[in-house]
Amino acid sequence: MEYYSKQISTLIEELAHLPGIGQKTAARLAFHIIDSPMENVNRLADAIRDARANVCYCKKCLTITDSELCPICADEKRNHHVIMVVENPRDLAAYEKTQKYDGVYHVLHGVISPMLGIGPQDIRLKELMQRLQTEAVDEVIIATGSSLEGETTAMYISKLIKPAGIKVTRIASGVPVGGDLENIDEVTLLRALEGRVEL
pLDDT of 191 above 70: no
Per-residue confidence (pLDDT) for residue 151, from 0 to 100: 86
Q: Global pTM?
A: 0.75
**Of 2-16, 85-99, 153-167, minimum mean pLDDT range:** 2-16
- What CATH number was assigned to the domain covering residues 64-198? 3.40.1360.10
Domain ranges of the chain: 6-54, 64-198
Per-residue confidence (pLDDT) for residue 147, from 0 to 100: 81
Phi/psi of residue 152, nearest 5 degrees:
-60, -45
Is residue 137 within 8 A of residue 83, CB to CB? The reply is yes
Among residues 117, 118, 141, the alpha carbon closest in space to that of 128 is found at: 141
CATH 3.40.605.10 fits 6-54, yes or no: no
Is residue 104 within 8 A of residue 140, CB to CB? The reply is no
Question: Could you tell me the sign of the dihedral formed by the alpha carbons of 121, 123, 125, 130, in that order?
Answer: positive
**Residue 85 pLDDT grade (very low, low, confident, very high; cuts 50, 70, 90):** very high
pLDDT of 6 above 70: yes
In the chain, % of residues over pLDDT 70: 90
Per-residue confidence (pLDDT) for residue 192, from 0 to 100: 72
Is residue 70 within 8 A of residue 48, CB to CB? The reply is no
Per-residue confidence (pLDDT) for residue 168, from 0 to 100: 94
Per-residue confidence (pLDDT) for residue 1, from 0 to 100: 44
Per-residue confidence (pLDDT) for residue 187, from 0 to 100: 63
Mind listing the pLDDT tens digit for each residue in 132-189? 999 999 999 999 987 889 889 999 999 999 998 999 998 876 666 666 777 777 766 7
